[in-house]
Amino acid sequence: MLRGGTGAHVAGALLIGIAAAGYVLPPADPATPTPTVPTATATAPTTTAPTSSVPAAADLDDPAKKDVAMQLVSAAENSSLDWRAQFSYLEDIGDGRGYTAGIIGFCSGTGDMLALVQAYAKARPGNVLAGYLPALRAVNGTASHEGLDPDFPRDWRAAAADPVFRAVQEAERDRIYFNRSVRDGRNDGVRALGQFAYYDAAVMHGYAGLRQIRSRALARATPPAQGGDERIWLDAFLDERVAEMRKEDAHSDTSRVDTAQRVFLDNGNVDLHTPLVFAVYGMRFRIG
């Protein structure tokens, strides 16, 4: 996903329909077991710590947190918090990556749109986009629309009315970008905000680009999992993210970091608790 700038659970009936079509959504991470608290006895009195009224912080793949993440990306990508309205989105934003489309900005020039349409053809053989697979293979790695114009935008929007195509978009988003980013954030010991910073970097620069940004940040700071301070590490990561964005004119507006992610970090909101008030490209948003 590489564009200038999102899931929620799919309804049970939709999942059944997809399974029947042969498309399998990625499995969810296993739930973390709740630790057992020993009970004090009369012969061995203990001091019981007070129970905290603050709920345990959730990672970004918690359904509520994930929906927040999708809204944050949609604000930056589509100037709207309504990420579910973006399944039909498609345009060429002039960034050299061809058409950008869907809830995460799948691009005809970067391979993820090709992977998406291949997955859709497997889930729904003979669908309206399947005939474009040869053209998508040919333009991969370029900004060309050859073989896609003039009807691909119209047919993309038609496909977006299909619940199977919408589910495949979510599954490919998770497979290529979201799941890897959250995993890497956990491995580095960062909480929901840091996991989102990784994910948003992958959305714009690709997963390989995220890894390159992280590698440069390692020269300046240490992740919490290696004994570093989370705030210092995320500051370094965001600095490198901004530097990467400024390499391209299409991504030179860094407000999605400066007046959103950096604001959350400066406020100490590393768990990405709502409400979130932020601005992107001069537009103000509120989540929660």
Catalytic residues: 77, 95
Query: DSSP letters of 62-95?
Result: SHHHHHHHHHHHHHHHHS-S-GGGGTT-EE--SS
- The contacts found for 133-138 with CB under 8 angstroms, 24 or more apart, are 136/108
**CA separation for the pair 7, 30 (Å, rounded):** 18
**Cα separations in angstroms, 15 against 26, 168, 221:** 12, 10, 43
Q: What is the CA radius of gyration of the chain?
A: 21
Nearest to 176 by CA among 75, 105, 257, 278: 105
Question: Which structure tokens are listed for 217?
Answer: 């940040």
Helix (H, G, I), strand (E, B) or coil at 196: helix
Cα angle: 21, vertex 26, 28; to 5 degrees = 130
CB-based contact 18:25 (threshold 8 Å): yes
